[in-house]
Structure 1
Amino acid sequence: MGTAVKADQGNTTRRISMAVPIRTAVTALCASLAAALLTTAPAQAEQHDRHDQSWSLSGGAHAPRAQITLDDTTGTLSLAVSREGRTVIEPSPVGVVTEQADLSRDLRFLHRKDRTVEERYRTKSGKRLDRRVRMHETRLSFATAAGARLDLVVRASVDGIAYRYVLPSGAGDVLGETSAFNLPADAKAWLGTYRVDNEGQFAPYTAASAPTGDYSDQALFSTDGGYTLLAESGLTGTYSGARLAHTQGTGTYRVELADDRVHSDGPLATPWRAMVTGDLATVTRSTFTDDLAPASRVRDTSWIRPGTVLWTWLAGGRAAGQSLAAQKAYVDYAAERHWPYEAVDAGWYYRPGEWDVTDPDWQSDSWMPELVRYARAKGVGIIVWIHQRDLDTPAERAQWLPTLEKWGVRGVKIDFMNSEAQPMLQWYDTILAETAAHHLMVDFHGSTIPKGIQRTWPQVMTLEGVAGEEKRTNTAAHLTTLPFTRNVIGSMDFTPGAFQRVGLRPNSDAAEAGLAVAYESGLQMLAGTPESYEARPLARAYFDQIPAAWDDTRLLAGEPGQEAVLARRSGARWFLGGIYAGAARTAEVPLSLGPGRWLVETIRDGADGLVQDRRVLRGGDTLTVDVVANGGFAGLACPWRPGITTCHR
């Protein structure tokens, strides 16, 4: 029996029999280590008495790579991200402080556990319905001298790196994180000023030049390693929402929580701090934040159906919401267009000076059941607006939700949460479970942003969390940044199509039509008036064709703040949405839809209104479109063969 030699690699022990020749054994071990995606090795010591420990994790050959380092002197952890040897995120502090222990320093390494996460799931909406997940995960366990424990869980995919903290029972409340992201000072940055309703506009800076202040935790940076979108996933009422705190002159963005103290009664897994990384097309197409989130908690999803919605708030305001006759007229128009939903906004249960729910007879007084019956007979579903304060207590939810379900309402637009503090997140947990139980689709306004919520609760069709069409201060640059920032992580209820708001929006009519494709939303709420659609028959006919669920999404051309051209596929047809900021130009768009010939129909701005062009191009050709200042286009492409003259059905 040969003597055994132990080769210790982190917490992995290999036994090599001396019966095998030494050179063969060493060669085999080296080859095994070189092929491994998950590695751990001592960092190069700067001093003879320093032996920092370092662990590396990557999702593949051209994927981003995380490097986690434990400083031997201070016991502090840092995490850096690179891609193909180029900087994505510089070494950045990692750690958390609880009422029982400071788990950001004086740590010692205990052990490591690796696994591969592989999943397939299907969504009801989003960039593509079928998803396949493959991520490498490493769990690094640490302890302080007093025995306080911290596990750092890191995941790596082809398009992202993410980490979270796992704390055992008895760790106590969380007092804050020392987590931060260090960017090169000259990195390009697109940041949205933090607001509780997440409706800050995105503006360009460099990482260091951004003014001192708080920013949305969704922040896009460009370094020599490519584009990186900072994001969050798996946020629930067990924790607190995050924002980024920055001091001008540095490239550091610190994670600050909405609560000074996050209450925890037992084991705790924090949300994921995610970095969606790659070229701009990879970041735009990524579903990384959904992939990190827990699987769906809704078993039967057959009642969840995305679709186009005629939204009447910008069309008629509160007066329309108070009028059954007006709402029936909107239902008639939605039915004529074969749009599956009509949304009744604020006013339908409002009387001057009081809320109808204070009246014991409010249910019998409401005309909503009549509207729902009227709409159902015409093939239109009704979605109703409701204030969060009217769903704030168990008694209110028990009054509202079963009643709306009994009436046949298809969904609720819940407004004015305006907080990501732990108590409000706990309310989200409750309302998500209860709306699913009552078969009500959900559109959150004045809200958090998706953060994986649409995978776990697929009845959430869309969320606002954006400076959308209602705003009168939006810029064309902001509109062309949204596809690369806010809309990357999930459905965005921007409410496009408000053609009647001439002078109140920064873009052209063709660009406004293109927004319905450039921006993804499970319920695409079209904000125009019937009169505005009738005055633009090309846009109206285009909207008639648009689905709200997509088989695939591709970025054809883009630069944040300047241009964004997205292609979304439904079946064999690709819908195109192009938006631009700046001077008029002839846009040149690579038609990267696949081989063969394509019939391409585009809608652009002409001298006297919208104009449609048709041409046959080969896959890979350049599509040229004349674009006016701050303009854009909408398009539709389908496989061409002799005799095909239109892509419309």
Structure 2
Amino acid sequence: MKYKITSIIFLLLSVTQILMGQTRYEIASPDKTITVSVFLQDKSLFYSINRNASPVLSNSLLGLVREDADFSKNLSILSVSKNDLIKDNYTLKNGKRLNNQYLANRRILHLQNASSKKIDVIFQVSDDGVAFRYYFPDGDKQLKKITEEKTAFHFFAATKAWMQPMAVAKTGFESTNPSYEEHYKKEINVGTPAPTAAGWVYPALFNYKDTWLLITETGLDGNYCATRLKQNSPDGNYQVGFPDPREAFTNQNVNPESTLPWYSPWRVIAIGSLKKVTESTLGTDLADPAKANINPDLFPPGKASWSWIMLKDDSIVYDVQKRYIDFAADMKWEYCLIDADWDTKIGYEKMKELADYAKSKKVSLLLWYNSAGDWNTVKYTPKNKLTTKESRLKEFALLQKMGIKGIKVDFFGGDGQSMIRYYLELFKDAAKFGLSVNCHGATLPRGWQRTYPNLLTMESIKGMEFITFSQYDADQEPTHATTIPFTRNIFDPMDFTPMNLTKIPNIKRKTTSAFELALPVIFQSGIQHLAESPDGIATVPAYVKSFLQNFPSGWEDTKLIDGYPGKFVVMTRKAGSKWYIAGINGEANAKTVNFDLAKYKGKKATLITDGNEELSFTRTEVSPNADFNISMKPFGGFVVVVE
């Protein structure tokens, strides 16, 4: 009898659920460690996230608002797809890992609003995080405009955050902000307002108990603006925000607009231990694949000499640039970057001579350009060469004829949809003429290096140039450099232009020489524009010069050994048969790090670290073993090459 009653109750509950309709759906990662719950509450759509069966993100709102329809309320679920396993494999020369595999469970919720207009929400959950995007499936050639994105990330009160404030549009040098060049706020309480109404940039890092979460976006094409997190996050509830109305390309649109059907970019939350998040490749896993007409082999990664970083504007003359070409050749570096005003101080005809000379030395030239446009009052030239397609193609054809291999484009000042289209048009047109691209004063790449393999790097960081400008920024370098491997540089190449081993004019160095030597290993960039000069290299030991002459152009694998944002980093990267292990100490006290090198037993390992004198080095042959330890000086560092 008891069995029959139980069966009847179960049947009644099942029928009731069918009649009422299921309102909560789950998507788990392939390894079951991460689970997303998606549900309707008061006719609005929410999601929450568990890791190892414990909540790590509270109920967070989903939805978009278009001018013609609201998709954040009065929603109903039409149907929900079954769980599908998504697989992808791709190679990426410009990243932390050459061969990449993506495995995730996907589920799509099909919804409609009160006026029967449709929207899909697509979730993909992998072992290292959660991604979702919106899709308007209807066909409509009439332009639709999104006025607000309601997407939120609701953190628990005990969560801490590492976040970079967004600069206010039209501020800074020649009013060229925003350019993602602010110092991070470190280990702040969630809910802390951003310093200005501009909000916070991606990636944003959070820590709750033993779980780390990193928020960013990827898959951004010309059909959407770049977004950020809004200034205020009451109760730790962060909402996606749109750019300032002034962040436009030549007075065009800022907020998203498109015909239908229409995809949004992916909203990405990497989740796991700090090691799991730091080693994640979600930012490129979810980016659009490489454009079929762009051959990655034509745009090899490499290292570059660069006079401007230490010698500034007066160095952009023929004789100095010839010397820096010789410097690159002597160091076995692939590139030499010639910066602003080259067109007036050297000229196109003499630049062709330099390009021919560089080619004879097996060095490729990169040339600087002003992004120009009505948002940009910067006087540096060349300018007004790239803003129209006709002018751009004419200039790129001339560069190709001269033998130039790449361009550095500076001062963009905006994240509006029209500005995003400008970036992508630059990448596409440059590729047609065999030109690589590096952007400064720029937005976050958001996985573009996978889609456009000729995009080798972007600045989007307060880099070495600021350290040469002010003592304050030099003093901040240790904590700054130990924060950005866990934030800005996790997914996308970063042109920090690292590594000054000797002296910076008019600046008292805070970091040691070995700290600086470690930076090109710890920071990833398709081109490493190295800040040291020929005179500086002439003063370092021969073994340091040899290390830099044989430094790899790209990486096959990356592992985080240990670290904590703003305090220290120990990372290892693989190139060919060698492993490069590098550590930096962001604190004023000496720090000993221990790690296991047993798997390298029997191999040769060479340690380069700080010497006893200021700005000096020592080299030691070491034996890899299970209990390997290295002491880093205050604001010091090291590199180990295992082969």
Q: Which band: TM-score by shorter chain? A: 0.7 to 0.9
Change (3 A) 1:528 1:618: closer
Distance 1:592 1:132 in 2: 26
SS in 1 for 2:391: helix
> In the alignment, which residue of structure 2 is the partner of 1:7?
none
Q: Do residues 513 (structure 1) and 482 (structure 2) align? A: no
User: Letter of the aligned partner of 2:640 in structure 1?
Assistant: G
CA drift at 1:118: 1.1
Q: Do residues 144 (structure 1) and 127 (structure 2) align? A: no
CA drift at 1:558: 0.4
On the 8 A contact 2:368/2:408 being kept in 1, the answer is: yes
SS in 1 for 2:207: strand
Q: Do residues 190 (structure 1) and 162 (structure 2) align? A: yes
> In the alignment, which residue of structure 1 is the partner of 2:135?
166
1:347 is aligned, of 337, 341, 345, to 341
Change (3 A) 1:303 1:504: farther
Distance 2:508 2:220 in 1: 35
Change (3 A) 1:253 1:212: farther
Distance 2:53 2:283 in 1: 24
Deviations 1:393-431 (A, max 9, x none): 123202211111111111111111121111111111211
User: Letter of the aligned partner of 2:213 in structure 1?
Assistant: T
Change (3 A) 1:592 1:110: farther
User: Letter of the aligned partner of 1:545 in structure 2?
Assistant: N
> In the alignment, which residue of structure 2 is the partner of 1:228?
213
User: Letter of the aligned partner of 1:544 in structure 2?
Assistant: Q
On the 8 A contact 2:30/2:104 being kept in 1, the answer is: no
Change (3 A) 1:212 1:470: closer
Q: Do residues 56 (structure 1) and 26 (structure 2) align? A: yes
Farther-moved stretch of structure 1 (547-556 vs 586-595): 586-595
- TM-score, structure 2 as length reference: 0.86
SS in 1 for 2:623: strand
Distance 2:642 2:209 in 1: 34
> In the alignment, which residue of structure 1 is the partner of 2:55?
87
> In the alignment, which residue of structure 1 is the partner of 2:379?
none
On the 8 A contact 1:476/1:630 being kept in 2, the answer is: yes
CA drift at 1:391: 0.8
Change (3 A) 1:423 1:211: closer
Deviations 1:35-57 (A, max 9, x none): xxxxxx99x99xxx997711111
Q: Do residues 303 (structure 1) and 308 (structure 2) align? A: no
On the 8 A contact 1:295/1:455 being kept in 2, the answer is: yes
On the 8 A contact 2:85/2:104 being kept in 1, the answer is: yes
Deviations 1:115-151 (A, max 9, x none): 2221111112210111111121111100013111110
SS in 1 for 2:259: coil
On the 8 A contact 2:194/2:200 being kept in 1, the answer is: no
Distance 1:324 1:405 in 2: 20
On the 8 A contact 2:165/2:194 being kept in 1, the answer is: no
Q: Do residues 455 (structure 1) and 440 (structure 2) align? A: no
Deviations 1:478-504 (A, max 9, x none): 110000000001111000112332735
> In the alignment, which residue of structure 1 is the partner of 2:485?
483
CA drift at 1:382: 0.6
Q: Do residues 375 (structure 1) and 358 (structure 2) align? A: yes
> In the alignment, which residue of structure 1 is the partner of 2:90?
121
Distance 2:504 2:309 in 1: 9
2:228 is aligned, of 243, 264, 269, to 243
Residues 98-109 of structure 1 correspond to what in structure 2 (within 5 A)?
Answer: 98-109=66-77
Residues 515-530 of structure 1 correspond to what in structure 2 (within 5 A)?
Answer: 515-530=519-534
Distance 1:101 1:226 in 2: 37
On the 8 A contact 2:107/2:123 being kept in 1, the answer is: yes
> In the alignment, which residue of structure 2 is the partner of 1:324?
318
Unaligned runs of 5+ in 2: 168-177, 246-253, 373-384, 468-472
Q: Do residues 620 (structure 1) and 626 (structure 2) align? A: yes
On the 8 A contact 1:87/1:225 being kept in 2, the answer is: no
Distance 2:451 2:411 in 1: 22
RMSD over aligned Cα atoms = 2.5
Q: Do residues 540 (structure 1) and 508 (structure 2) align? A: no
Matched length:
583
User: Letter of the aligned partner of 2:51 in structure 1?
Assistant: R
On the 8 A contact 2:456/2:527 being kept in 1, the answer is: yes
Distance 2:46 2:147 in 1: 20
SS in 2 for 1:397: helix
Distance 1:464 1:228 in 2: 23
> In the alignment, which residue of structure 2 is the partner of 1:384?
367
On the 8 A contact 1:212/1:248 being kept in 2, the answer is: no
> In the alignment, which residue of structure 2 is the partner of 1:3?
none
Distance 2:598 2:331 in 1: 29
On the 8 A contact 1:203/1:478 being kept in 2, the answer is: no
Identity of aligned residues (%): 28
Distance 1:407 1:311 in 2: 20
On the 8 A contact 1:242/1:256 being kept in 2, the answer is: yes
Distance 2:107 2:220 in 1: 21
Change (3 A) 1:302 1:183: same
SS in 2 for 1:636: strand
User: Letter of the aligned partner of 2:618 in structure 1?
Assistant: Q
Change (3 A) 1:61 1:132: closer
On the 8 A contact 1:237/1:429 being kept in 2, the answer is: yes
Q: Do residues 254 (structure 1) and 239 (structure 2) align? A: yes
On the 8 A contact 2:106/2:122 being kept in 1, the answer is: yes
On the 8 A contact 2:608/2:620 being kept in 1, the answer is: no
Change (3 A) 1:616 1:201: same
Change (3 A) 1:583 1:261: closer
On the 8 A contact 1:334/1:341 being kept in 2, the answer is: yes
Farther-moved stretch of structure 1 (297-306 vs 97-106): 297-306
CA drift at 1:249: 5.6
CA drift at 1:610: 2.6
Distance 1:570 1:344 in 2: 28
Distance 1:57 1:154 in 2: 8
Farther-moved stretch of structure 1 (599-608 vs 152-161): 599-608
CA drift at 1:595: 5.0
Change (3 A) 1:593 1:163: farther
Unaligned runs of 5+ in 1: 1-22, 31-40, 357-361, 639-649
Distance 1:145 1:586 in 2: 60
1:427 is aligned, of 422, 428, 438, to 422
User: Letter of the aligned partner of 1:386 in structure 2?
Assistant: Y
CA drift at 1:592: 4.9
> In the alignment, which residue of structure 2 is the partner of 1:405?
400
Distance 1:203 1:496 in 2: 21
Distance 1:593 1:226 in 2: 28
Distance 1:108 1:469 in 2: 52
Distance 1:599 1:373 in 2: 40
User: Letter of the aligned partner of 1:68 in structure 2?
Assistant: V
Distance 1:544 1:63 in 2: 44
Deviations 1:237-268 (A, max 9, x none): 21011111142663111100115632212221
User: Letter of the aligned partner of 1:423 in structure 2?
Assistant: S
User: Letter of the aligned partner of 1:380 in structure 2?
Assistant: V
> In the alignment, which residue of structure 1 is the partner of 2:470?
none
> In the alignment, which residue of structure 2 is the partner of 1:587?
592
CA drift at 1:620: 3.2
Q: Do residues 446 (structure 1) and 452 (structure 2) align? A: no
SS in 1 for 2:297: coil
On the 8 A contact 1:307/1:548 being kept in 2, the answer is: yes
SS in 2 for 1:401: helix
Where relative contact order (Cα < 8 A, 6+ residues apart) is larger, the structure is 2
On the 8 A contact 2:161/2:207 being kept in 1, the answer is: yes
On the 8 A contact 1:180/1:254 being kept in 2, the answer is: yes
User: Letter of the aligned partner of 1:603 in structure 2?
Assistant: I
Farther-moved stretch of structure 1 (62-71 vs 327-336): 62-71
2:557 is aligned, of 527, 552, 557, to 552
Change (3 A) 1:593 1:154: farther
On the 8 A contact 1:138/1:155 being kept in 2, the answer is: yes
SS in 1 for 2:561: strand
On the 8 A contact 1:391/1:397 being kept in 2, the answer is: yes
